[in-house]
Amino acid sequence: MRLFPAGFMMLTILFAACSNIPKNAAIAVIDDPALDAAVAKARARLMASRKFDRFDVTILIRQTDGSWRRGSYNPAAAFYPASCVKLPYLTAAMRWCRDNGKPYDHLDYCVRPMIEKSDNIQTGVVVDAITGAPNYSPAALDETYQAWYKKRLYTENFLASFGLLENQTVIHKTYPSNSGESPVGAEKIARDERGMNLMQPLASAMLMQKIIDGAIEPDALAYMRELLAHARHDSNSAFGHSLPPGTIFENKTGMAYDTVEEIAYVILPNGREFIIAGFSNGRDNQEKPPYDVVGISPFSEMIIEELGLDDGCPPKIKIDNTDAGFSASGGWQVETALVDKWGENYLAAPAESGAKAAWNLNVPESGLYEVYIWYPEDPAHSASAPFSVIHAAGTSDVKVNQQIHGGFWYKLGDYPFEKGGGVIELTSANLGVVVADAVMAIKWHDAVSPQTGEDVIVDDDYGAPHYIETGEWRSVNNKGFMGGNFRYANISDDATAVWTANLSTDGWYDVFAQYRSMLDGAAMAKFAVHSADGEFICYADQSKNILKWVRLGRFRFNAGENKITLMASGSSGGMRVIADAVRFKLATPADTGSK
């Protein structure tokens, strides 16, 4: 059960509501010089600590009226996009399905791995399917080749119809593909003529905006967004590594050679929405995934802080080695040489020097926190720097290789802290120099233990006794409420899901459900609300309303335990029902009957 501060939940509802935009509505996108300046400032801050020299970016910020403000740095610079090209291929595949009278998931066998796993082989299958032009070996550049080439322009023509082609090249497969390890035959001729694929930040960000706002194949929106949803800290994420817990993150990343690109739609825990498209030469080929792409990740945090987009998010504590919450003893030396440090300097201590450092978090609220450290990397540093996290459940020791993974927020883990508590310690190592720089702790959006209240959210991730299932359910990770998991069952099964909330006050409550709608979600998902006046049956359309609070009605409840049940049997209009989060919110003013 997640109990939120009132202001936090009001902000969440406000921004969720403003993004509930009618299909095909013309959504204003307004260039904002002030946002250009903020982007340039955050970019300069990032690049001051980077070892690469190219980072072009466009960001769109959702406003309360549904419009977007747009700011950029070098927005029309076109570079090799690597697997980011799969985002336009996804949208073109949706158009192909509609044009050919097929359901949007007709190509799921190849589209899903193309997006979820960035599978190059299946990307080739998608390109062949939507163009009707598989590779072949031409004898000459004759009419047959020209007809083949014209078919291969399907995705570019699709983008051009929305004014999104610009100076981009979006025609080639990603290799190795289903055609071979590298381009051969007609595909090689086309690449020799056109050069490699090229994309730019501005057109890429606008493509994502049109997807999210339903301007491109609105009936495929739930399907596309479900495919694009990724965990913040996996190998399919760059910007996600610096986003707070509870963030909804839907993206496509590209990485090849020295390039790292990402096109992402983000919903912060406070409900604020933004789109970011960044293109760089920041891939570190010496690092293993996911750390090879994290060089651009700090920008997302920097622009969020620069614009104040995190107002209303759960608490974040950040302590540098120059801040009051930091203390050190022993043989530390102040250093400034390494560019990927946090702030003006850092401390370094040689092996077996007896040096000790401590960051006192003094967290403002009890709860579960993500804990990170930042340090500059260097081959002379310790490969096993001994960090300790002192938390409410004891002490956890973590060895960190400070020769690698530097220059970004490296996650130590999730730890429970009591209000006023939380300490991170570092001592000198047996071998190598240890570095003390900065730490950060960000509170998860949920309570450590269930609480009673007048505005109570119960998520499936809590498990028994707060969430209980019968029958056969399956799990989808990292795509549900606040970036967590959700569960689904086939409507042909005799399966139920029951949420139990502890309410502190008798009264009338508005009841909501939230879920990631699915293409085959039940149009009439059957809920039973067990109120003080008996059981009421209501329905929700789970083919629509992606991760928004859908109101089931207003009902009277007594203080104490109260339940909502989702029933697969009795649902209709699709193949699946989705169990994720429900909410009980005390109505003001009180009403006199369920509505």
Quick one: 464 and 553 in the same domain?
yes
Q: Which helix (H) or strand (E) holds 178?
A: none
Residues 6+ apart with CB under 8 A from 4: 12, 445, 455, 457
User: Is residue 212 domain-resident?
Assistant: no
Structure tokens at 349: 């201590």
User: Is residue 322 domain-resident?
Assistant: yes
User: Is residue 303 domain-resident?
Assistant: no
pLDDT (0 to 100) of residue 450? 54
Residues 6+ apart with CB under 8 A from 422: 317, 360, 361, 362, 363, 369, 389, 390, 391, 415, 441
Quick one: 329 and 403 in the same domain?
yes
Query: β-strands 29-31, 68-73: how paired?
Result: parallel
User: Is residue 497 domain-resident?
Assistant: yes
Phi-psi region of 487 (alpha: psi -120 to 50; beta: other; left: phi over 0): beta
Quick one: 489 and 514 in the same domain?
yes
Mean pLDDT, residues 225-231: 94
Domain edge (last residue) among 443, 470, 499:
443
- Domain containing 426 equals 316-443
Quick one: 431 and 338 in the same domain?
yes
Beta bridge partners of 577: 489
Domain edge (last residue) among 443, 466, 489:
443
Quick one: 427 and 472 in the same domain?
no
Per-residue pLDDT tens over the stretch 107-157: 999 999 999 999 999 999 999 999 999 999 998 889 999 999 999 999 999
pLDDT (0 to 100) of residue 25? 54
Quick one: 337 and 383 in the same domain?
yes
Domain edge (last residue) among 443, 470, 504:
443
Judged by DSSP in three states, 127 sits in helix
Higher-confidence residue: 22 or 14?
22
Query: β-strands 356-360, 326-329: how paired?
Result: antiparallel
pLDDT (0 to 100) of residue 588? 79
Evaluate if residue 8 carries a pLDDT over 80: no
Whether 452 and 446 have beta carbons less than 8 Å apart is answered as: no
Quick one: 486 and 427 in the same domain?
no
Q: How many domains does the chain have?
A: 2
Higher-confidence residue: 22 or 426?
426
Evaluate if residue 396 carries a pLDDT over 70: yes
Quick one: 362 and 398 in the same domain?
yes
**Roughly what angle, to the nearest 10 degrees, separates helices 108-116 and 86-99?**
160
Residue 387: which CATH number? 2.60.120.260
Average pLDDT, the chain: 92
pLDDT (0 to 100) of residue 446? 64
Buried b (16+ CB within 10 A) or exposed e, 122-140: bbbbbbbbbbebbbeeeee
How far CA 563 is from CA of 1, 100, 566, in Å, comes to: 12, 45, 10
pLDDT (0 to 100) of residue 132? 98
Per-residue pLDDT tens over the stretch 158-204: 999 999 999 999 999 999 999 999 999 999 999 999 999 999 999 99
Residue 41 — very low, low, confident or very high, per pLDDT cuts 50/70/90?
very high
Residue 449 — very low, low, confident or very high, per pLDDT cuts 50/70/90?
very low
Residue 336 — very low, low, confident or very high, per pLDDT cuts 50/70/90?
very high
- Rg of the chain, C-alpha, whole Å: 26
Per-residue pLDDT tens over the stretch 262-303: 999 999 999 999 999 999 999 999 899 999 999 999 999 999
pLDDT (0 to 100) of residue 482? 87
Residue 3 — very low, low, confident or very high, per pLDDT cuts 50/70/90?
very low
User: Is residue 548 domain-resident?
Assistant: yes
Quick one: 520 and 541 in the same domain?
yes
Quick one: 473 and 570 in the same domain?
yes
Quick one: 477 and 567 in the same domain?
yes
Mean pLDDT, residues 417-444: 95
User: Is residue 115 domain-resident?
Assistant: no
Quick one: 475 and 562 in the same domain?
yes
User: Is residue 294 domain-resident?
Assistant: no
Per-residue pLDDT tens over the stretch 348-385: 999 989 999 999 999 999 989 999 999 999 999 999 99
User: Is residue 31 domain-resident?
Assistant: no
